[in-house]
Amino acid sequence: MKKIYIILFVLLSANAWAQSKFDHVEPMFWWTGMKNPKLQLLVHGKNIAGYTAKLDYPGVKLLELHKVENPNYLFLDLEISADAKAGKFPIIFLENGKKKFDYSYELKTRDTSPSRIQGVTSKDLIYLLMPDRFANGDSKNDKVKGLAEQTLNRDSMYYRHGGDIQGVMNHLDYFKDLGVTTLWMTPEIENDMPKASYHGYAVTDHYKIDPRFGTNELYKSYVEKAHANGLKIIKDIVHNHMGTGHWIFKDMPMKDWVNEWPVYTQSSYRDEPVMDPHAAEADKKKMLDGWFVPSMPDMNERNPYVQNYLTQNHIWWIEYAGIDGLRLDTYPYNDPAYMADWAAKLKAEFPTLSIFGETLVNSVASQAYFTQGNTVNRGFDTQLPGVTDNMMKNTIYEALNGKAGWTDGVFRLYNIVSQDFLYQDATRNVIFWDNHDMSRFYSMINEDIDKYKSGIALLMTMRGVPQLYYGTEILMKNYSNPDGLVRSDFPGGWTGDKMSKFTSAGRTSQENEAFNFVSRLAHYRKKSAALQEGKLIQYVPEDGMYVYFRLAAGTNGNKDVMVILNPEDKAKMLNTARFAAQMKNTNSLINVISGEKLNTIKDITVPAKTTLVLELN
């Protein structure tokens, strides 16, 4: 018996030594039944280039072992057949043809539960939040030893505040009460950077949740708990860049893992050269290959190893956690051909997954250029279903704050919507009035509660997928420059906060007025086929008023909706005769917010600075 224990000890010790020989093996595990049978393992450890490898597991082949510039890396190309079974198997590493040690790798069975990877559509209402600034559910992870940033200071917009995933999980009932259907957090991935690490866009480990937010296991539980509560999850991912603190950047596999320049070169941030048929190649290269900022190296997405690494990482997170959609940061800055290939591969694995790209550009044509179906002069399809509709965001402020002119005021809004023919399907676009990089909606309309309600009504009734930024529902305010206060903490998310805006008792009367307005429309929208999926019919503005209809398309038990925007400082009368095509069977109109029945359907009084949302009966 003693000999058996000794043998077991030796075997276990050898395996532990083998597992610790490598700093990273990524992906850490994989799944059977994937559409793409190919898998490329990145293996990192001190001077491992002298090893070769082999394996013997039914349904799994080692096709090729790649040695690269850096002797601390090996890349293993595996092929996993459709009949491969889940289980652990040894990858045998050899030195000079002799076995040196085994590394245990695992294939798991895919989870096919119907609640996973549901997709996010125009039926949903997205709530965007920054986890560090929303709620602190676990104070034990506020500071983590060994990480570059140890400052915790809620008085500064540039340091950590302590919010985390558990804090978001603790408030799922709040989201449900508000009428939200989908949560989108800014990246939760590790950002081990010395400054401003809270925002999440300078990743330092692609396979690890930042320990100040939680763990991989907690993130998976967060998705599962959200699904159990009827909420969907969007994950925010970054292809274009990583942080200088990334372990790969500190010891790159090859020099061209990132885009290097003779001297530091920053992106021009100009999207035009990407689509301009007359563009100079130098301008295009500066846009695509220039670094976003000095602390965020630009990934070389033409490098096939980088392509595999990023694509597999995103597939890994979706399959691991069961998330419903992806938001793609800085989409125009990425290599176009790679992004098209990436999207095709993700759609093959997850047909129900929703994807939308951040496109902070300056025209509808520019936005549409990046979406799928626009193959003219490109030679390929981007496969990108939708974008963040920055042009809709810009024009809403013109509609609410501007004065009506031939192309100004509400006419600008009408004009932007009229260009939806450029998209394959504009209802896939995410519409928003602000986010973590922009001045808050309430400040941009000069803290006018009437304009606020008018804008919220437009957000909830316009085509597309509406997105709220955290705190909009309680009138949080401030401008993006110079102090970053648009990323202030949600009041009540921290023990010791003087008041909690998560409850009606902690909100002022005006904050409750705003919250209730948002909630009323959000819950109505959840039951309205017209607002979720209905065809949009808009009319040319007259007398400074803009009118559109959302049609329920004959859906049993659902009503069409009429929306009337009067942005001016005085009440106006709207004669409905010109809308006969949409109102021919209407015998009454109900104000969706107040529930009141209008006295007439012919001449409607529209109060100043108001968007009426009317149900047609």
Strand partners, 295: none
On whether the CB atoms of residues 330 and 292 are closer than 8 A, the answer is yes
On whether the CB atoms of residues 113 and 124 are closer than 8 A, the answer is no
For CA atoms 44, 48, 50, 54, the dihedral sign is negative
**Residue 110 DSSP class:** P
Q: Which of 210, 319, 358, 398 is catalytic?
A: 358
Q: Which of 205, 298, 324, 329 is catalytic?
A: 329
> Of how many residues is the chain composed?
617
Q: Is 6 left (phi over 0), alpha (psi -120 to 50) or beta?
A: alpha
**Interacting residues of 335 by C-beta distance below 8 A, sequence separation 6+:** 288, 301, 302
On whether the CB atoms of residues 389 and 427 are closer than 8 A, the answer is no
The token pair that represents 256 in the structure block: 């061209």
In SS3 terms, 484-498 reads as CHHHCCCCCCCCCCC
The b-or-e profile of 275-303 (16+ CB within 10 A means b, else e) is beeeeeeeebebbbbbbbeebbbbbbbeb
For CA atoms 408, 409, 414, 420, the dihedral sign is positive
**Interacting residues of 180 by C-beta distance below 8 A, sequence separation 6+:** 125, 126, 127, 231, 468, 522
| Residue/partner pairs of 400-407 with CB below 8 Å, 24 or more apart | 400/445, 400/451, 400/454, 400/455, 400/567, 400/609, 401/444, 401/445, 401/446, 401/451, 401/567, 402/567, 404/541, 404/544, 404/567, 404/568
What is the spatial distance between Cα 309 and Cα 616, in angstroms, rounded to a whole number?
52
CA nearest neighbour of 428 among 512, 356, 351: 356
Q: Has 358 been annotated as catalytic?
A: yes
Strand partners, 129: 185
For CA atoms 329, 334, 340, 345, the dihedral sign is negative
What is the spatial distance between Cα 73 and Cα 22, in angstroms, rounded to a whole number?
9
Give the largest CA-CA distance in the chain. Answer: 96
The token pair that represents 358 in the structure block: 């951040």
Q: Has 542 been annotated as catalytic?
A: no
CA atoms within 13 A on the CB side of 413: 30
What is the spatial distance between Cα 436 and Cα 599, in angstroms, rounded to a whole number?
43
Cβ neighbours around 35 below 10 Å, total: 12
Report, in angstroms and rounded to the nearest whole number, the Rg of the chain calculated over CA atoms.
Answer: 27
The residue to which tokens 């690890």 are assigned: 208
Query: Would you please indicate which residues are annotated as catalytic (active-site) residues?
Result: 329, 358
